[in-house]
Amino acid sequence: MSGPGDLAALPVQAATEAGLAPYGTLVQPAEDGAPLSVADARLDLGRGTPRFYIMRLHSRPLSVSRITRHRRVTQCLAALRGEEWMLVLAPPGDPDDPDARPDCTRLAAFRFNGHQAVILHRGTWHAGPLFTAAEVDFVNLELADTNEVDHSTVALDRSYELRAEA
């Protein structure tokens, strides 16, 4: 892991269905009663007891030096009050390989407009949520024991500061 003087910039792109496809599914607002479609997220919650909760996060600066994945679940995240937020993602590779490492050549940073959610593919590497507000509440759907038994974190070989002009 590099120190603050060695930050590598990572541009931030707006979250789109196509851009997020290697990492997960973008969920956009839809009218009530809309039929199930291929654009809807497919959840994988069968490896444990689902947990849906509101997590309050404080001061998450726009830089990362570590990245995490959950091998047993498709994690779902969305800001509650419409705040803008970001994630840094790397593709899951083989989610069943406990020794897998993220492909840092495929790191991508995404900005969510506050009215979008993301369903991360099982095993997707992620850093964040990140945001500039003092605190943001997120809805989170994962498994009851995700943070105890399904939380693999690795240090990145460099620290990345997000360049947010995109």
Q: Which residue in the block uniquely carries the two structure tokens 């369903």?
A: 119
Return phi, psi of residue 114, to 5°: 95, -10
- Partnered with residue 160 across adjacent β-strands are 8, 64
Instruction: Give residue-wise pLDDT tens across range 115-144.
Output: 999 999 999 999 999 999 999 999 999 888
* Residue 34, domain member (yes or no): no
* Residue 38, domain member (yes or no): no
* Residue 128, domain member (yes or no): yes
- Return the pLDDT at 164: 58
* Residue 106, domain member (yes or no): yes
Q: Which of 117, 154, 149 is nearest to 39 (CA)?
A: 117
Query: How many domains is the chain partitioned into structurally?
Result: 1
- Return the pLDDT at 141: 93
Question: Which residues does 79 contact at the CB level (< 8 Å), separation at least 6?
Answer: 85, 112, 114, 129, 131, 136, 137, 138
* Residue 79, domain member (yes or no): yes
13: domain CATH number is 2.60.120.480
- Return the pLDDT at 75: 94
Do the strands 117-120 and 108-112 form a parallel or antiparallel pair, or are they unpaired? Answer: unpaired
- Return the pLDDT at 68: 95
CA distance readout (Å), 102 to 2, 57, 67, 108, 113: 17, 24, 8, 12, 26
DSSP 51-62: EEEEEEEE---S
The pTM of this model reads 0.88
**Range(s) of the domain holding residue 110:** 4-29+44-163
Q: Where are the beta strands (DSSP E) in 32-123?
A: 50-58, 63-69, 76-79, 85-90, 108-112, 117-120
CB 119, CB 74: distance < 8 Å = yes
Query: From first to last of its 166 residues, what are the pLDDT tens digits of the chain?
Result: 334 445 678 999 999 999 999 999 999 988 898 888 766 767 888 888 899 999 999 999 888 999 999 998 899 999 999 999 999 999 999 999 999 999 989 999 999 999 999 999 999 999 999 999 999 999 999 888 788 888 889 998 888 887 655 4
CB 112, CB 84: distance < 8 Å = yes
Displacement of CA 15 from its chain's centroid (Å) = 11
